[in-house]
Amino acid sequence: MTNPDEQDVTPLESRYVTPESSVAMASLAEILDSPEFAGAVRVQAFLEYVVKESLEGRGDRIRGKTIVEDVYRRSPLEGRDPVAVVRVDAGRLRRRLEKYYDGSGAKAELQINFQPGSYEPRFTLRQEKALPREPQPEVAAPPPSPPPSRRVSAGLLASLAVTVIAAALFWWQTGFQADSPIDSVDAGTEAPPPGPGDATARAVRNALFSNSPARLQASNLAMKARSLQFPALEPKWQDAVLLMFELVIEMDGNYFAGYAGAAESKALIAVTRPPGKDRDGLLQEADDLALRALELGIDQSWSHSAAALVAHVKRDFKSARQQSDRATSLDPSDLHALNMDALISLFGGDFERAADMARRAAEIMEPRDYFPNKSIRASAEFHLGNYSEALGLITESVLEGDPISPISLGYLIAIHTKMGDANSAEEMLNLLESAWPGFPINALFRSLYRDPAHADEVITALLDSGWSGEGRRTSE
């Protein structure tokens, strides 16, 4: 292994090195076998590929499209932006490496890291291991300094506490941003929610905190509320989430996210209401909020995703499709926008797209993310006639603790009915009646689906299972 120049090197400093292949591969094997990388199959393949390419002298040729082709076995032209998944995985890889070197790899001599915006790995040595161990008697050790806490003013302690609390709150958030450098931060910027070690997220949070602590606080709350929007069709749940978004607007009336989130919540509440003035009024309010979000954050995927949902509930399907396309194009790593697009595609009748978008979202989901991802895919597979696959997906969704709604239970009943399992269908019907007695699921399906035939496909299966169409079994 080639060692860096050790002259004038402090014990905590690292230098880039060109390691021997056997040493680098041994270090790679330890990383891949570590608990920090357990289960992350695609991220493991990503790291193994770039390390081997670098050791073969091709590190400077690594690009997103080469990773798509060589690791994911997909064409860069496949889908709308498969390279965006590479950017997301690069961020996940950096965060896992940071956790590894803070955890089980804390004593690793050779370290692998990446510069932001680059997929070429860089190798460094922990210099404290390479330094001579002989004492340096001619240099007297400085007297120990008093603990910092004894020399910090109360005002500074309070400021630090605010910063720590804000950061801790932000680490709870869901969603992802591409791991590319940020040139500037403007007033409409949404603080990205990756893990605490992500340099881009830190830079944006620092800029927001320095410019406007209120904006950072509003961003924290908005992202937390966004992560709570599912189950989407529970009116009381949405009422609580809506209060959070309204508080965001009070905190910062010029921040787009409060309006985008409130627009989505009002639209979701409206879809559960029967036709009439109440529903129309909610939709008008949702439309006004979505327009305000677009005014303040035209370049933000969330603004367009909110506008898409409102348009769909208003049955303006063309606008819904256009706005959702913009949302996923602006940020292909926005997990919420991907799932919202999957829902809009499902109820719009584009079942293949719904399944595809749900799969894309699943590729970047972390265990803490709370979306009905598998339920969406299951519903799409039902309409495509793949009942066994649909049953497997929705059962897995239930066991993993994904949000459950009358819609997902209705589909589960319909799937069992289509597969000829009357006993399971009846069991699920009993659960639906006990959890949501009298729920007008037939009216909800017809309200959500663009094509009444798609709604009737589920409703007919429900009727065949013993559902009366009025929220109770025909036997009653």
Per the domain annotation, does 392 fall within a domain? Answer: no
CA distances 357 to 82, 316, 361, Å, are 12, 21, 6
Share of the chain above pLDDT 70, in %: 72
Adjacent-strand bridge partners of 111: 124
Residue 134 pLDDT > 90: no
Same structural domain, 223 and 327:
yes
Per the domain annotation, does 323 fall within a domain? Answer: yes
Torsion of CA 167, 172, 178, 184, to 10 degrees: -30
Within 8 A by CB and 6+ apart from 7, the residues are none
Query: CB of 354 within 8 A of CB of 345?
Result: yes
Look up residue 176 and give its amino acid. Answer: F
pLDDT band for 15, please (50, 70, 90 cuts).
low
Per the domain annotation, does 428 fall within a domain? Answer: no
Residue 322's pLDDT is: 94
DSSP string, 357-373: HHHHHHHH--TT----H
Residue 190 pLDDT > 60: no
Question: What is this structure's pTM?
Answer: 0.57
Residue that wins the pLDDT comparison between 373 and 116: 373
- Say which DSSP state 274 is in: P
Per the domain annotation, does 447 fall within a domain? Answer: no
Query: What sign does the dihedral 282-284-285-291 (CA atoms) show?
Result: positive
Q: Which two tokens stand for residue 112?
A: 């692998």
What is the rounded distance in angstroms from the CA atom of residue 171 to the CA atom of residue 165?
A: 10
Share of the chain above pLDDT 90, in %: 27
Residue 419's pLDDT is: 92
Residue that wins the pLDDT comparison between 442 and 343: 343
- Say which DSSP state 473 is in: B
Q: What's the order of all strands across the beta sheet hosting 110-113?
A: 16-17, 122-125, 110-113
Residue 354 pLDDT > 50: yes
Same structural domain, 20 and 123:
yes
Domain that holds residue 282: 218-331
Per the domain annotation, does 104 fall within a domain? Answer: yes
Same structural domain, 23 and 122:
yes
Residue 368's pLDDT is: 66
CA angle 19, 22, 25 (to 5 degrees): 85
Single residue among 128, 147, 168 that ends a domain in this structure:
128
Per the domain annotation, does 159 fall within a domain? Answer: no
Range of weakest confidence among 66-70, 158-162, 449-453: 158-162
Tens digits of residue pLDDT in 75-129: 554 444 555 677 777 878 888 898 899 899 988 888 998 876 678 898 888 754 4
Residue 9's pLDDT is: 35
pLDDT band for 266, please (50, 70, 90 cuts).
very high
Residue 90's pLDDT is: 82
CA distances 458 to 201, 411, 428, Å, are 43, 7, 14
Residue 211's pLDDT is: 53
Counting the structural domains of the chain, the total is 2
Domain of 307: which CATH number?
Answer: 1.25.40.10
